[in-house]
Amino acid sequence: MIKEHKQVLDRENPFAPISYGNSLVFKTGNQGFEQPVFVNKVAPCRLACPIGVDIPRAFHKAAGGDISGALKVYLMDNPLPGVCGRVCFRPCEKMCNRRDLDDAINIRSFERFISDHGRVDVRDLYSRKRDGRVAIVGSGPAGLSAGYHLARLGYRVTVFEKRAKLGGMLRYGIPSYRLPRDILDQEIERVCSLGIQTEVLTAIGKDISWKDLDNFDAVFISIGLQSGKMLFKESGVEEHILTGLDFLAAPHRFSLEDAGLKTVIIGGGNVAMDVARTLLRLRHGKGDNIVVICPESSDQMAALEEEVGQALEEGIRILNGWAPHRLRKADGKRSSLEFFRAEVSVNEVSGEIAIAPVGDETLSLETERVIIAIGQEMEIDSESLPFSTKRGYVVADPFGKTDHPKFFAGGDAVGGRPFVAEAIASGKKGALAIDCFLKGKDLESEFEANQIADARAFCFSNFINKADNQHIDLKRVTTFDRLNALFFSEAERENSSCLVPENRKDSFDEVLLGLEAARMEREIARCFRCGTCAECDNCVDFCPDVCISRDPKLGSYGFDPDFCKGCGVCSVACPRDVIEMEGEPR
């Protein structure tokens, strides 16, 4: 037999190099001088959003399955995500870091998705009682936004609207095939659920006077640009002419008398597209007698590329490079519309166009109806306004302050880019200005304290509760080069699809389709969540000193200074630029 050989290990004096103790006695942290700082930063998409929505945070919530939580993030800054999720001009996607890898995230579809599927009671979001009454004049996106944010800040808000329903251009300008009315109604209902009082069919200056607003502590003017600009006022065929705005406000009224008249639409903006496509639908998809004509080249047209593309798909004829010259009566009910060859230069800053004739080529169109969609202007009441206007716009500073201390203004009425998101942004800023005015706070310093980097937007949640918002440094932006792209792989963008032209041009059904859940899920997974901790645990896993741990209370990470030797591995391993090394020798 083999003799008994020792088969046990004496832990105190092991025969193999094994230690059952631990190395906690070695405070490796003494070696280091830098320490990780965990702080979220601003993503370029948020920087680009006029409203300043924390888009990556919403994606983070959605990635964890919390669609309502994602919607909550949007509603913190934007009262109308269901609207923006359909008609926004998508500046966020243009700035998306993901473009440096493959393609931008479909952010607008995401906004639409969470708005369609999330459930949030905005009364739970943030609200408090405060003294102060604010009047909002005009219920378009700017007015609704100002009212929403002011109501959340605790003010008693009354919205005055001259038409029968709230919504302004959202309802009376944007056709329902782009923005379904049930969606719009839900969005407005949500804003009003904050206890906003509404006075419809009440035009200030007509039904009640500007003086009557003296009862309010502050007034927000969001009256928009309600009149379409006119041409050929002295042509003698005025009965053939109407403005695009008048048409869009009540398109069905024209359907009875329309009967397929030869129609020329003058203009290269979104309104011209909306008019042409609405008319097409009223004519059950027959577009033979519809022509859009504008002096701009196809590249210069103010209409969104998406809108022009869809119009062309639907068979709308667009003639570029022709400027209207004159309108003359022709035989019978017809008139003759004459154009000259033109070249357009666009002012990069103001967006205004200058038209110059080229050669002596002319064009003459026989027409029975002319719809003018070349721009909008303010309806000025006879009664003198309590604040100044200039060149058809309310004079206001970037925060909406007019020359009357109580009056603030926003939306199209103050000029700027005519986008819904811009109007909402101006309403949000107006709410900040009014709050500062009523509380006697310095507006500029308040704005700067909450400003998102150098953008025009500020962070609303930071404004109402800085303590809750310490996880983010609003002044630092996560550009693509600050990400660790090794952790991301290419994935194709999930594009939204549209109804095919044959199925949409004779109906007012929504053209753009939302992404279904499975595709949305893939799109959510594509989002880098730039500058936003995604709780991926990379820092925990990569830390050579095992000194990083997740703090379940804060939902963030902490490190043990006794053992962090400041190597910076966590900072490099963080895919999203959330960890930086900072500090002094200890």
Partner 1 sequence: MLLTGNHAAAFGARLCRPRVIAAYPITPQSPIYEKLSEWDGKGVLGGRMMRVESEHSAMAACITASLTGVRTFTATASQGLALMHELLHYASGMRVPVVMVNVNRALAAPWSFWSDQTDSLSQRDTGWLQFYVADNQEALDTVIQAFRVAETIFLPAMVVLEAFYISHFMEPVDVPAQEAVDGFLPPFRPAFRLDPSDPAAFCQTTTQEQYAQFRILRHKAMEEGLEVVSEVDKEYQKHFGRGYGLVETYHLDDADIVLVTAGTIGHTARITIDELREVGWKVGMLRIRLFRPFPKEEIIRRLKKAKKIAVVDRNISSGQGGIFCEEVKSALCGHVDGAQVFGFVLGLGGTNVSPSLLRKVFEITKTMKMAPLRPILDIESVEIGK
Under the rule (CB under 8 A), what is the footprint of partner 1?
A: 1-3, 5-9, 14-23
Pairwise CA distance, residues 455 & 477, whole Å: 11
Pairwise CA distance, residues 508 & 199, whole Å: 29
Pairwise CA distance, residues 459 & 177, whole Å: 32
C-beta of 8 vs 256, nearer to partner 1: 8
Q: Output Rg (C-alpha) for the chain, integer angstroms.
A: 29
C-beta of 21 vs 332, nearer to partner 1: 21
Of 433, 564, 451, nearest in space to 28 by CA? 564
Pairwise CA distance, residues 163 & 320, whole Å: 35
Minimum Å gap between C-beta 549 and partner 1 is 17
Minimum Å gap between C-beta 565 and partner 1 is 16
Minimum Å gap between C-beta 25 and partner 1 is 12
C-beta of 7 vs 350, nearer to partner 1: 7
Which regions of 298-384 does DSSP assign to beta strands (E)?
317-320, 322-329, 335-346, 353-367, 369-372, 376-377
C-beta of 8 vs 349, nearer to partner 1: 8
- Contact between residue 566 and residue 33 where contact means Cβ atoms under 8 Å apart: yes
What's the farthest any 2 CA atoms get from each other in the chain? 127
C-beta of 4 vs 131, nearer to partner 1: 4
C-beta of 18 vs 259, nearer to partner 1: 18
C-beta of 7 vs 384, nearer to partner 1: 7
Q: How many CB atoms lie within 10 A of CB 174?
A: 21
C-beta of 5 vs 233, nearer to partner 1: 5
- Contact between residue 204 and residue 160 where contact means Cβ atoms under 8 Å apart: yes
Minimum Å gap between C-beta 540 and partner 1 is 18
345 by DSSP, 3-state: which? strand
C-beta of 521 vs 560, nearer to partner 1: 560
Minimum Å gap between C-beta 18 and partner 1 is 5
Pairwise CA distance, residues 268 & 308, whole Å: 9
Pairwise CA distance, residues 170 & 427, whole Å: 15
Pairwise CA distance, residues 419 & 49, whole Å: 12
Minimum Å gap between C-beta 547 and partner 1 is 16
C-beta of 19 vs 382, nearer to partner 1: 19
C-beta of 17 vs 552, nearer to partner 1: 17
**CB proximity list for 269: less than 8 A, separation 6 or greater:** 301, 302, 303, 373, 374, 375
C-beta of 23 vs 465, nearer to partner 1: 23
E strand or H helix that includes residue 9: none
Minimum Å gap between C-beta 557 and partner 1 is 23
What tokens appear for 310 in the block? 């869809």
Pairwise CA distance, residues 83 & 259, whole Å: 32
Pairwise CA distance, residues 392 & 397, whole Å: 15
Minimum Å gap between C-beta 185 and partner 1 is 59
Minimum Å gap between C-beta 22 and partner 1 is 8
Minimum Å gap between C-beta 58 and partner 1 is 39
Of 48, 138, 141, 144, nearest in space to 89 by CA? 48
Q: How far, CA to CA in Å, does 424 sit from each of 81, 197, 246, 398, 430?
A: 10, 19, 23, 14, 10
Minimum Å gap between C-beta 6 and partner 1 is 8
Minimum Å gap between C-beta 4 and partner 1 is 10
Of 435, 432, 436, 434, nearest in space to 452 by CA? 432
Cite the DSSP H helix spans in 168-214. 169-172, 181-192
Minimum Å gap between C-beta 21 and partner 1 is 8
C-beta of 16 vs 467, nearer to partner 1: 16
Q: How far, CA to CA in Å, does 360 sit from each of 91, 325, 330, 339, 340?
A: 40, 12, 22, 10, 7
Minimum Å gap between C-beta 476 and partner 1 is 40
**CB proximity list for 470: less than 8 A, separation 6 or greater:** none
**CB proximity list for 348: less than 8 A, separation 6 or greater:** none
E strand or H helix that includes residue 273: helix 270-282
C-beta of 22 vs 384, nearer to partner 1: 22
What tokens appear for 109 in the block? 């579809």
